[in-house]
Amino acid sequence: MKLSTELLILGGGATGLGAAWDAALRGFKTVVLEKGDLAHGTSGRYHGLLHSGGRYVVRDPQSARECAAENAALRRIIPSAIEDTGGYFLSTPADPADYADQFLAACHTCAVPVTEITTAQALQREPLLNPRLGRVFQVRDAACDSFDALHLLAHGLRAAGGEVFLRHRVTEILKSGDRVVGVAGENLATGEPFTFHADLVLNCSGAWAGHIAALAGCEVKVTAGKGVMIAMNSRLVNTVVNRLKPPADGDILVPVGTVSVIGTTDTAVPSPDQYAIEDWEVDLLMGEGEQLIPGFSRHRALRAWAGVRPLYDPGGKDTRHMSRAHALLDHEERDGVSGMLSMVGGKFTTFRHMAQLLVDAACAKLKTDRPCVTARTLIEPPGTPLHALPKRLEALESGKWQTASDATTDTGQPPTASHQQPAATICECELVTRSQIETNLRQSGSPILNDLRRDLRLGMGPCQAGFCAYRAAGIIHETLGHSHRNSNSQLLQFLQERWKGERPVMWGHSLRSLELDLHIYRSILGLDTLPTEREIEVYPTERTS
C-alpha cells in the first residue's frame, strides 16, 4: 500500500488522536498510524483521573494551571467520557499536618478551584473513609474513561475527514537528504508492507517516541516510568480521593465505572515493552489503601496492571520527581532534520492543549494560519452509549439493542417478532450484547478478540471473562469465518491477558474466582488440548505473589 497525506501522525493514544482531530478540524488531510488498537499504549493503561490540578500545585505550578484549564475544556468537548465525581484532598494521620496550608495557598496561586469542607461532610458522602481524618479540601477532579475518550476522538476525526489505520507498525522513517518525507512499515493484520508520504510527520508515540525519533537519526531521551494500579471489585468511594501530601506511591483512589482503582507506583524501566508487576508494589498499594479506608485489604482486589509514563526530563533523576510537563521538539532546529515534529511527556488531562501546540507548530512549518477550534467543539457520541453501565442498562431495558441475531441466540429459533425479544447479553458483568459485538466486528478494519475488551469492556467485570470469552470467541468465529485454529489462538490470548492481571492479586475471592475460570476453560472446554496457530501458554505458571 502506498498513500500520501498532508499530516501523518504516529501513535493512536490521546496525544496522537487529539492532534489528528485538531488538524482535521483545521482542514488538513490527516492520517493516524497505530501499531495496536485505539488506546493500546499508556492512554489505555492509566489511572483514570481527570486532574483538577491539585496534585501539582505545590511542586509543579505550570502543570497545575494547565490541568485546571484542560479539566474545564475536556468537560465541554467530551462530556460523555467523563464522570463528574469531584475530588477530595484529605489528610490521614500518616500525612504531614503542615502540608494543608501550603496546598491551599498554592491552589489559590495556580487558579485551581478549591473549597475546604468539614470531615463530617466528607464522611457523610464517603462513609468508608478513615474516620481519623484531618483537613479535607474539595476540588474539581473527575474520572475519565480513556477508552471512551479515544473512541470519541477517533469518531470526531473521521467525521472531519481524517483516517486511522490500526495495527500499522512504523519501522522506517523515509528521508530525502535531511528531510523526513514519510514512513514505511508493516500492516500487522495482513503482514503486508505499507508506505506513507506526508508533508509533515508528527511523532506522538508516547513512551516509544525515542524509538521513532531514532529511526530518523535523532536522539530523544524519553524515560519509561512504570506505574502499577490495582482495581478493587467495587466502588469503595464515589469521589476521587487524594492524600494531602507531596505526590507519592499509592496516594490516590479513583472510582472508575463499577470499580475503584488505587495507584500508583513509579519506577524507571529499561523499555516501554518490558516490565513486570512486582510483589512489593502490590503490597505497598494495598497497605496505602488502608490509610484511606480502614480494612481496605479485606475488600476484593480484582486485577493489577501497569502503564509506562512517557517522561521527558533530560536533567531528571528518579521518575517520581521527573517533570510531568510536555515538550514540543522541532527536529529541524534541534537536530537539523526537517519534516518531523515530536510531542513528548505530558498527561492525559492535558492532551488537547498539547495537540493544539503541536498543530500550531505544524501550521507554522507549512506556512499556513489556521486557528485551533478544539477547546469549544463538542464531540457528539456515536449512536450507541459508551462504557457507562447505567446507560447500557437503560439501552438494554428500553429494547434499543434488540436485533434479529440477539433474538435468535436467546431462543435458538429464527426470530418471529424480534422486537419483542430481549437482547442476548454475552458479557453480563459489563452488559455487552451480541449485537454490540457484531457491530463492532463489522466496523473494525481488522478485529481480534482482545479489541472487544478495549472497545466494549468485554471481560473487564468481576468474573474477568469466566463466562463471556468463549461466547465472544464463538461469535467472532461465526461472524468472520476465521479458522478454528485462529479462533482458538485468539481465545487463548484473550484469557492469557486476563490472567496476567489477576495473577498479582491472587488470593481470597480472586483466587476462588480464577479457580472457577480454570475449571470452566480447562476441565469443561479442554483449553489445554485446543489446536492453535502457535504455541501459547494457557494458564499461569509464574510464581504468584
Ligand X SMILES: Cc1cc2nc3c(=O)[nH]c(=O)nc-3n(C[C@H](O)[C@H](O)[C@H](O)COP(=O)(O)OP(=O)(O)OC[C@H]3O[C@@H](n4cnc5c(N)ncnc54)[C@H](O)[C@@H]3O)c2cc1C
492 to 276, 476, 505: CA distances (angstroms): 20, 14, 21
Spatial contact of 20 and 157, defined as CB atoms under 8 Å apart: yes
Least spacing, CB of residue 328 vs ligand X, in Å: 13
Q: How far is the CB of 478 from ligand X (least distance, A)?
A: 30
C-beta of 287 vs 295, nearer to ligand X:
287
Residues recorded for the chain: 545
Q: For the CB of residue 395, give the shortest distance to ligand X in the complex, in Å.
A: 28
> Cβ of residue 149: shortest distance to ligand X, in angstroms?
10
DSSP for 277-325 reads --HHHHHHHHHHHHHHSTTGGGSPEEEEEEEEEEE--TT--SGGGS---
Q: Which is nearer to ligand X, 16 or 247 (CB)?
A: 16
When the beta carbons of 150 and 463 are compared against ligand X, the nearer one is: 150
Nearest distance from residue 139's CB to ligand X, in Å?
Answer: 14
Between 341 and 427, CB nearer to ligand X? 341
Nearer to ligand X, 270 or 371 (CB): 270
Q: Report the sign of the C-alpha dihedral through residues 529, 535, 541, 545, in that order.
A: negative
Please give the residue whose beta carbon sits closest to ligand X in the complex. Answer: 13
The C-alpha cell at 537 is 501458554
Tell me which DSSP letter residue 153 carries. Answer: H
Quote the least distance from Cβ 254 to ligand X, whole Å. Answer: 7
Residue 251, class by beta-carbon neighbours within 10 Å (0-12 exposed, 13-18 middle, 19+ buried)?
Answer: buried
> Do residues 226 and 276 touch, judged by C-beta distance below 8 A?
no
Instruction: Return the number of the residue (359 or 469) whose C-beta is nearest ligand X.
Output: 359
CB of 6 to ligand X, least distance (A): 19
Instruction: Give the nearer residue to ligand X in terms of CB position, either 164 or 473.
Output: 164
Among residues 54, 56, 49, the alpha carbon closest in space to that of 84 is found at 49
Cell of 16: 496522537
Taking the C-alpha atoms of residue 477 and residue 240, their distance in angstroms, rounded to an integer, is: 41
Cβ count within 10 A of residue 412: 6
Q: Which of 357, 342, 352, 61 is nearest to 221 (CA)?
A: 342
CB of 413 to ligand X, least distance (A): 43
Provide the minimum distance between the beta carbon of 399 and ligand X in the complex, in angstroms, as a whole number: 36
> First vs last Cα of the chain: how many Å apart?
47
Nearer to ligand X, 207 or 468 (CB): 207
- What residues line the site for ligand X (CB under 6 A)? 10-16, 33-36, 40-43, 46-49, 51, 169-170, 204-208, 212, 227, 229, 264, 307-310, 346-349
Give 34 or 406: the residue with its C-beta nearer to ligand X: 34
Alpha-carbon distance 118 to 135, whole Å?
A: 7
Contact assessment for residue 104 and residue 267, using Cβ atoms and an 8 Å cutoff: no
Smallest separation, CB 37 to ligand X (Å): 8
Q: Annotate 118-145 with three-state secondary structure.
A: CHHHHHHHCCCCCCCCCCEEEECCEEEC
DSSP state for residue 541 in the 8-state scheme:
-
Nearer to ligand X, 209 or 426 (CB): 209
Cβ-based neighbour number of residue 176 at 10 Å: 10
